[in-house]
Amino acid sequence: MIYTSPHSNLSTVLGTSPEDIDQGKQGSDRVLLMAIIMLMMFGVLAVYSSIAFFAASHNTSAFALVTGHLVKLAISFFVMLIVSKVNYHTLAKFSHLGMVVSLLLLVAVLIFGTEQFGARRWLNIGGFSFQPSTFATVALLLHVSVLLSEKQEYVKDFRKSFVPIMFWVTITCGLIGIEDFSSAGILMGICLVMMFIGRVSTIQMGSMIAIAVLGGMLLLNQSENRQARIEQYVQQIKNIETQEFLTGSGYQAQQAHIAIAKGELFGVGIGKSTQRDFLPAPYNDFIFAIIAEEYGIIGAMSLIFIFSLILIRGIVFIARKAEDTLGSLLAVGCTLTIVLYGFVNASVASGLLPVTGLPMPFVSYGGTNMMFAGLMVGILLNISKHARDRRNVFYA
């Protein structure tokens, strides 16, 4: 049973009022859907521009790779539409099963996983390669939303409420963090936001933050690659001309900065990027740098605006107006995941954050991340169908 408390932080943080109740049937959030379509269009153009050098070095054509990207986009869009038709309360019934399966997959990838780009994140089953961490992310967001909504009557109880939530969050983020520290950090942060909205005790949240900090330090100390990225990030702030930054671990960040600088205000033009030949993975981790080079600051800020629009629609219109606590919490989790991945990708290319290897949803070259991003958007669209207040909101 999903419990909805009229006194939860949702009313305070998200601004839900008792007057916002309208039980009529409605369509999905049209503005959110259009924003996702615009991201996909940006992605197709950027991938086509950035993948030419990679295609030539791997004895294939840019057209073939872009066609593959379009197929993955179509699959993601199809998943989005299918999930948008499934009531999110139905998905909630399988949250515990989803967590068990995701944990088994995370353990399997540590043992049998395929290593790519220095990280063991991919699991190959029957010729199909995917990242279990993406499935685990969606599963955890759903399960934490279910636990918080079900335990609202005693949400501040340490044993009955906090311990079960802490168990699933720490073990999932810990397993993800062994090979994908950045994704684990973002997921932990989002879970903390959801716990705050779900009225978890401040003291209990403080203990969760302490666990996250200690776990993060442990994972950093166990990886020379992560330490090198942090050191390079500090060096680029202190002295941008160091040899380490120009030729060592900071090389890719340097090339991204050059691409952004070349773009200036209006860009060098579609398909005219030169830094794509120097940037490692310009079609994925540094796709934002290619967009900034070809479309300039205008194009880059347009992309940031679209992600900001998704943030506003997801939090202000969908989460705030959801029909129950479960819907609000799930909308917050899905929205923050999509938007933070986009912002982090842009921040890495701009030099605001250390290199993380996180893709930009619906823009970077497609894969497992894109499919599960489509799944999360589908959940958001379904939640929007059950909004309490339909006034002054654009729906299909």
pLDDT in tens, 314-373: 999 999 999 999 999 999 999 999 999 999 999 988 888 887 878 899 999 877 889 999
Could you count the other beta carbons within 10 Å of the beta carbon of residue 156? 15
Smallest CA-to-CA distance from 38 within 316, 278, 309, 255 is with: 309
Q: What is the mean pLDDT of residues 286-301?
A: 92
Joined together, the tokens standing for residue 251 give 């090389």
Cα distance between residue 214 and residue 209, in whole Å = 9
SS3 123: strand
Percent of the chain with pLDDT over 90: 46
What is residue 345's predicted lDDT score, i.e. its pLDDT?
92
Which residues are 128's β-sheet partners? Answer: 125
62-90 burial, b for 16+ CB within 10 Å, e for fewer?
A: beebbebbbebbeebbebbeebbeeebee
Strand-strand pairing, 114-116 and 119-125: antiparallel
- Confidence band, pLDDT 50/70/90 cuts, at residue 216: confident
Q: What is the pLDDT of residue 389?
A: 56
Phi/psi for 29 (5° steps) reads: -70, 110
Rounded Cα gap, residues 232 and 253, in angstroms: 9
pLDDT given for residue 19 in this prediction: 40
Q: What is the pLDDT of residue 26?
A: 64
Q: Give the pLDDT confidence score for residue 393 in this predicted structure.
A: 42
Task: Please write the tens of the pLDDT for every residue from 193-212.
Answer: 999 999 999 899 998 899 88
Beta strands, E only, 47-125: 114-116, 119-125
Cβ pair 185, 360 in contact under 8 A: no
pLDDT digits (tens, 9 = 90+) for 22-45: 444 567 889 999 999 999 998 888
- Computed over every residue of the chain, the mean pLDDT equals 83
- What's the pLDDT score for residue 119? 65
The 10s digit of each residue's pLDDT in 238-252 is 565 554 455 555 677
Q: Where are the domains of the chain?
A: 24-385
pLDDT confidence bin for 218, thresholds 50/70/90? confident
